[in-house]
Structure 1
């Protein structure tokens, strides 16, 4: 039923799947310079099933830091195919040390620190979201 699957693929949510199972997160989108620069700074809480999806205009090297970020975060760095290439677990609030995600990154999902490990989300997991085109490992129109 491709029509239902496509309708279920929304800009404000991401689906993840892998050998560990599957999960859905409600997301805020950071897709311009100002939104990406602010990210989740100054937030005191992040609901368990929520996150922020940073989307770049094209694949590029990606590096984050935790300046003015008050809560520990897991960062999932994704290629243009929607496949998780790197997971950084439990980024330390306020730490200015760069967190490199690698080259060719199209999107980064930030979720609560420790959650990726607890759920089993790892490199090779696949994400479904409209930011990834029809050539994605798990495209929106796929079942």
Structure 2
């Protein structure tokens, strides 16, 4: 009798988790969705939200899969600046406000270039993806990015 109750409880929990996942109410912190004119584009992200992890970023990495990126969360809106010192892959930097609206895109940042790349506007997030992808996806300022940390 106790075994049957345990089996039913496990099945019920499975149904609840599946329903939450399908409804979008239970979202993963390691996924963003780019809302473009071409449709929704999912990207698997590594979230960096501490001063130490943001400082390191993608430095010293030699490759990144096409459908992956890094999401920097500054936990407040402010103007930020990036550089490519010790970064070996060209990157597109997508500067995003707290609501998930793209404010500025810097395409094809040059590997190992120490020149500052400013956000131009106060932002809370920066998404780094492989260089050239923002153009291929048709991303532009005003497009929406979805992530559980964004208020949009």
TM over 0.5: yes
Structure 1 residue 104 corresponds to structure 2 residue 122: yes
SS at match of 2:52: helix
* 1:5 aligned residue (24, 34, 45): 24
- Per-residue displacement from partner, 1:72-112 (whole Å, max 9, x unpaired)? 00000001110000010000000000001123210000000
Q: Which runs of 5+ in 2 are unaligned?
A: 1-18
Q: Give the CA RMSD over aligned residues.
A: 1.3
SS at match of 1:17: strand
Q: Which runs of 5+ in 1 are unaligned?
A: 137-143
- The structure number with the bigger radius of gyration is 2
Kindly indicate whether the alpha-carbon contact (under 8 Å) linking 2:48 and 2:57 is maintained by their aligned counterparts in 1: yes
Q: Which has the higher contact order (CA 8 A, sep 6+)?
A: 1
Kindly indicate whether the alpha-carbon contact (under 8 Å) linking 1:51 and 1:112 is maintained by their aligned counterparts in 2: yes
Kindly indicate whether the alpha-carbon contact (under 8 Å) linking 2:45 and 2:68 is maintained by their aligned counterparts in 1: yes
Q: Say which structure is richer in strand.
A: 1
* 1:28 aligned residue (43, 46, 49): 46
* 2:141 aligned residue (123, 127, 142): 123
Report how many residues are paired. 132
Whole-Å Cα distance in 1 between the matches of residues 75 and 103 of structure 2?
18
- Cα distance, 1:20 vs. partner? 3.0
